Amino acid sequence: MNKVVYVRIRPFGKVYRYFNNLEIELKKGDFVVVEGDFGLTLGYVVKVSSDNENSFKPVIRKATQEDMETFEKNLSLEKEAWDFCLEKISERKLPMKLLVVESALDRKRIIFYFTAEGRIDFRELVKDLAAKFKTRIEMRQIGVRDEAKFLGGIGVCGREICCKTFVSFFKPISLKMAKDQEMVLNVSKLSGVCGRLKCCLRHEYYGEIEEIIQDEEIITQEEKEPEIKKLSFIIKETDEEPTEEISGGKDESK
């Protein structure tokens, strides 16, 4: 039986690993109830593994028909909370942009995700929301990459952006990755719709380049010592120049 399952929270949410301690086999596509960052939530299995690692949180249960109906009702609650929150943001003239509203499966908590240029004093807004929905309110300020993941979009490649389709966790990306791939270091062209460096710079940053000869290292070839002038990591080519002196100043062809 598979012991570890990879569960995606929400259609485009992050993927987390959970320990399957149930007495049933879970398969890809099954809906399950798990404990997320903010309480019980509904997710679906995207991958199964036979690993015996049991340090992960356990799967609470395979989703029942009642769970699915509750989830559908929560979608209506989230829409109501979205509209009400937007109204109060406008009334209080708060410089923030509401992105997503999520309710825990048991409705013990509602989470509001937003972006803003700086810190926002939303204490009065939280009071409005708590008075309206009679539950715990969480306000989560997120960055521009998470905003792009929530909203989606089309990249310059013509395809849907990576973070919306398959990237679950953001990893550091640097200009060095573009430089090592011999790309033009034009930040505007290397940036995605979020305004940060494109995720694909990491996808195409091959690990084997770390094992390739470094610049200025001397290698032996046909009993000479050429000096490495340039490396092409992608096609694995090397431009070499012999270190021996070349006599000049006179055209011997004449």
Residues 49 and 110 grouped into a single domain: no
Mean of pLDDT values over 154-182: 81
Give the domain-ending residue among 42, 63, 84.
63
Residues of the domain holding 163: 146-203
Mean of pLDDT values over 141-161: 83
Task: Please give the residue that has the higher pLDDT: either 208 or 136.
Answer: 136
pLDDT digits (tens, 9 = 90+) for 37-93: 788 999 999 888 877 777 789 999 999 999 999 999 999 999 999 999 999 999 999
Q: Is residue 104 part of a domain?
A: yes
DSSP string of 2-29, one letter each residue: --EEEEEESTTS-EEEEE--SSS---TT
Residues 93 and 50 grouped into a single domain: no
| Cα dihedral 18, 24, 29, 31 sign | negative
pTM, whole model, 2 decimals? 0.68
End-to-end, the C-alpha distance of the chain in Å comes to: 83
Instruction: Give the chain's domain count.
Output: 4
Q: Which of 46-60, 94-108, 162-176, 179-193 has the highest mean predicted lDDT (pLDDT)? A: 94-108
Q: Is residue 252 part of a domain?
A: no
Q: Is residue 138 part of a domain?
A: yes
Q: Is residue 249 part of a domain?
A: no
DSSP 210: G
CATH number of 72's domain? 3.30.300.20
